[in-house]
């Protein structure tokens, strides 16, 4: 049996700075702990609603709060982290440290699925902190290309951790002893695909370019695309994007007319940006329909954006149709 490299061994040879690697290790440890908490949710009585809503005006699950606290505690205990921001927190939190890094995260993406035992995950982004001063909210408002690392954990049949630091994308699997073992050394997304992920129940609310793109896919070989497509939709961004990382595909969460004043559903700083960095480093593309997501200048902490990402040629086609 081949001996697999563990996370510490991989980090030792990764060309990112030692400080970045130390923060990644802290987040990875928190994700391993979250994996245990998620797996025992029903046993410990942690399923179901918490009876309150978060800053996003979304009903919080008990595990949203528990997993958020696990990450907060881990990051507050890391002297290299000066501040953090979460989907579950209205404002940023500072740790008392100065310099180093800022971390943004969605502690339990797809938590609406947790009660029915469908894959959920944690998404995180690491940004440079300002030197010499405590960070403010404005310091978090950096374009995605300023990220020094990003990653996600997916809690599914196996718990996996997907990372990008200085270059490329790798994936680790959590073993029975709580160690992250390198199982995917070079993750690459195929440029072409015949699979898309979108919530078809919202079709009537989409803008014309998205509707036109999906119509072309649904027409199969007889239509303008000349090939048959399959649809997959988990309603957990981590699960849907992880599938694309592993076998190609395109993920779309577009603007729709139900809430016309909201540009999109997904949050830029702790969902769209980290996932876009991972996808681009794996050879894919991402766009809000007009601009590459990683080039967007954030204007507020909980900013929402439309998201299209995945196999490069399909994302390019969506962007082209939106530009017509």
Q: Are 310 and 240 in contact (CB under 8 A)?
A: no
pLDDT for position 68: 97
Q: How confident is the model at residue 311 (pLDDT cuts 50, 70, 90)?
A: very high
Instruction: Round the average pLDDT of the chain to a whole number and report it.
Output: 95
Q: Please state, for a pLDDT cut of 70, what percent of the chain lies above it.
A: 98
What gap in Å lies between CA 278 and CA 237, rounded to an integer? 13
Binding-site residue numbers for substrate are 109-112, 199, 265
pLDDT score at 229: 98
Cα distance between residue 142 and residue 297, in whole Å: 6
Helix pair 312-323, 208-218: axis angle to 10 deg: 130
Catalogue all structural domains in the chain, each as residue range(s) with its CATH number: 7-184 (3.30.540.10), 195-323 (3.40.190.80)
Of 27-36, 52-61, 96-105, 305-314, the one with minimum mean pLDDT is 52-61
Task: Give residue 60's pLDDT.
Answer: 84
pTM given for the model:
0.96
Q: Is 90 exposed, middle or buried (0-12, 13-18, 19+ CB in 10 A)?
A: exposed
Whether 50 has a pLDDT exceeding 80, the answer reads: no
pLDDT in tens, 4-17: 999 999 999 999 99
pLDDT tens string 228-276:
999 999 999 999 999 999 999 999 999 999 989 989 999 999 999 999 9
Binding site listing for Mg(2+): 87, 106, 108-109, 271
pLDDT at 57: 65
Do the Cβ atoms of 146 and 120 come closer than 8 Å?
Answer: no
pLDDT on residue 52? 73
List the binding residues: 87, 106, 108-112, 199, 265, 271
Residues 219-230: what's their mean pLDDT? 96
């Amino acid at each position: 049996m081949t001996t697999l490299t563990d996370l510490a061994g991989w980090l030792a040879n990764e060309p990112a700075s030692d400080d970045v690697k130390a923060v990644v290790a802290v987040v990875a440890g928190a994700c391993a702990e979250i994996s245990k908490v998620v797996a025992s949710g029903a046993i410990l009585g942690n399923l179901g609603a918490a009876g309150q809503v978060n800053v996003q005006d979304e009903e919080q699950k008990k595990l949203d709060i528990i997993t958020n606290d696990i990450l907060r505690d881990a990051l507050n205990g890391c002297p290299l982290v000066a501040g953090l921001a979460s989907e579950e927190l209205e404002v940023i939190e500072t740790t008392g440290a100065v310099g180093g890094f800022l971390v943004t995260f969605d502690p339990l993406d797809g938590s609406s699925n947790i009660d029915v035992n469908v894959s959920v995950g944690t998404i995180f982004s690491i940004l440079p902190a300002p030197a010499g001063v405590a960070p403010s909210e404005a310091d978090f408002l950096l374009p995605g290309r300023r990220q020094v690392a990003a990653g996600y954990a997916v809690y599914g049949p196996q718990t996996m951790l997907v990372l990008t630091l200085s270059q490329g994308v790798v994936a680790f699997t959590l073993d029975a002893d709580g160690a992250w073992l390198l199982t995917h050394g070079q993750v690459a997304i195929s440029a072409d695909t015949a699979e898309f992920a979108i919530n078809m129940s919202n079709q009537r609310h989409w803008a014309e370019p998205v509707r036109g793109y999906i119509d072309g896919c649904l027409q199969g070989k007889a239509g303008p695309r000349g090939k048959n497509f399959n649809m997959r939709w988990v309603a957990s961004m981590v699960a849907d994007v992880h599938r694309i990382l592993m076998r190609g595909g395109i993920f779309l969460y577009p603007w729709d007319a139900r809430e016309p004043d909201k540009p999109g559903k997904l949050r830029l700083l702790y969902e769209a940006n980290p996932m876009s960095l991972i996808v681009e480093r794996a050879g894919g593309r991402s766009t809000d329909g007009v601009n590459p997501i990683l080039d967007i200048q954030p204007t507020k902490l909980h900013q929402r954006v439309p998201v299209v990402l995945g196999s490069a040629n399909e994302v390019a086609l969506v962007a082209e149709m939106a530009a017509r």
